[in-house]
Structure 1
Amino acid sequence: MKARITTTLTGLGLALGIAGAAAAAETTMRIAHVNPPEIMASNAGALSAVFKQLVETASNGEIEVTIYPAGQLGKDAEAIAQVRQGIIESSISTAGGVAEHYPRIGVFDIPFAFPNIGVANEVISLESEFGQMLAEDINEETGLKVLGLLDSGGFFQFTNSQRPITSPEDMDGLRIRTMTLPTHEALINSMGSRATPLAWAEVYTALQTGVADGQMNPIQQTAFAKFDEVQDYLTISNHLITPYVWFVNQDFYDGLPEEHQRIIDWASKVAVDAGRAMSRIIEASDQGLPKLADSMEVNTITPEQREAFAASAQPAVRQVIEETYGEEGVALLEAMLSSIEEAHAAQR
Structure 2
Amino acid sequence: MIKKIIKKTAGSLSIVAVLMGLSSSVNAAEYEWTFSQPWTRPIANKVFEHFIDKVKEYSNGEIEIKLYKNGLLGNHEETFHGVQDGSITIGVFSPYAKIIPGGVLNWMPWAISNWDAAEKAYSVGGPLNDVLETAYNEVGMHTLMHISQGAYGIGNTVRPIRQSEDFKNLKIRVSGSIGFVRALEGMGEGTGMTLQTLPWSEIYNGLSRGVIDGNWTMWPSLVDERHAEVLTFFSDINFAWDNQNVSINLNAWNELPDNLKEAVSRAAAEAQDYSNQLHKEAESGYIQQLEEMSDFTIVRLTDEERAALREASNIDAIWAELADSWLEKAYPNQNMSKKLRSQLEALNQVASSKD
**TM-score of the aligned structures, taking structure 2 as reference length:** 0.80
Distance 1:259 1:180 in 2: 38
Counterparts in 2 of 1:130 and 1:199: CA distance versus 1, 3 Å: closer
Residues 112 and 306 of structure 1 are in contact (CA less than 8 Å); yes or no, is this contact kept in structure 2?
no
SS at match of 2:60: coil
SS at match of 2:158: coil
Q: How far apart, in 1, do the equivalents of 2:84 and 2:171 lie? A: 38
1:186 aligns with 2:190: no
Deviation at 1:321, TM superposition (A): 5.1
2:288 is the counterpart of 1:290: yes
Aligned length: 314
Residue aligning to 1:160: 156
Residue-by-residue CA offset, 1:123-143 (whole Å, 9 max, x unaligned): 12223144223313431x123
Equivalent in 110, 120, 130 of residue 112 of structure 1: 110
Which string of whole-angstrom CA distances, capped at 9 and with x for unpartnered residues, describes residues 100-148 of structure 1?
Answer: 4312212345322323221122112223144223313431x12321111
Q: Which residue pairs with 2:18 in the alignment?
A: none
* Equivalent residue number for residue 314 of structure 1: 314
Runs of 5+ in structure 2 lacking a partner? 1-26, 329-334
Contact 1:110 1:314 in 2 (8 A): no
Cα deviation, residue 217, structure 1: 1.0
Which residue in 2 is equivalent to 1:30?
34
**Bigger Rg, which one:** 2
**Residues 242 and 106 of structure 1: is their aligned pair in 2 closer, same or farther, counting only changes over 3 Å?**
farther
Q: Deviations over 1:34-88 (max 9, x none)?
A: 1337xxx132x12211111112123332221211121121122322222222223
Alpha-carbon deviation of 1:277?
2.1
Amino acid at match of 1:111: P
Cα separation, partners in 2 of 1:124 and 1:57, compared to 1, 3 Å: closer
Deviation at 1:249, TM superposition (A): 2.1
> Where does the alignment leave 5 or more consecutive residues of structure 1 unmatched?
1-22
> How does 1:260-275 map onto structure 2 within 5 Å?
260-275=260-275
The residue identity in structure 1 corresponding to 2:349 is A
RMSD across aligned C-alpha pairs, in angstroms? Answer: 2.5
Equivalent AA in structure 1 for residue 121 of structure 2: V
- If the length of structure 1 is used for normalisation, what is the TM-score? 0.81
Report the 3-state secondary structure (helix = DSSP H, G, I; strand = E; otherwise coil) of the residue aligned with 2:314.
helix
Question: SS where residue 247 of structure 2 aligns?
Answer: strand
Aligned residue number for residue 43 of structure 2:
42
Supply the distance in 2 between the matched residues of 1:333 and 1:172 (Cα, whole angstroms): 33
For the pair 1:340 / 2:347, whether they are aligned, the reply is no
Question: What is the identity percentage for the equivalent residue pairs of Structure 1 and Structure 2?
Answer: 22
Query: What is the 5 A alignment of 1:189-200?
Result: 189-192=185-188, 193-200=193-200
Distance 1:124 1:60, change over 3 A: closer
- 1:30-179 superposed matches below 5 A: 30-36=34-40, 41-43=42-44, 45-96=45-96, 99-139=97-137, 141-151=138-148, 153-179=149-175
CA shift at 1:208, angstroms? 2.4
Displacement of 1:333 in angstroms is 4.8
Distance change in 2, residues 1:48/1:109 (3 Å): closer
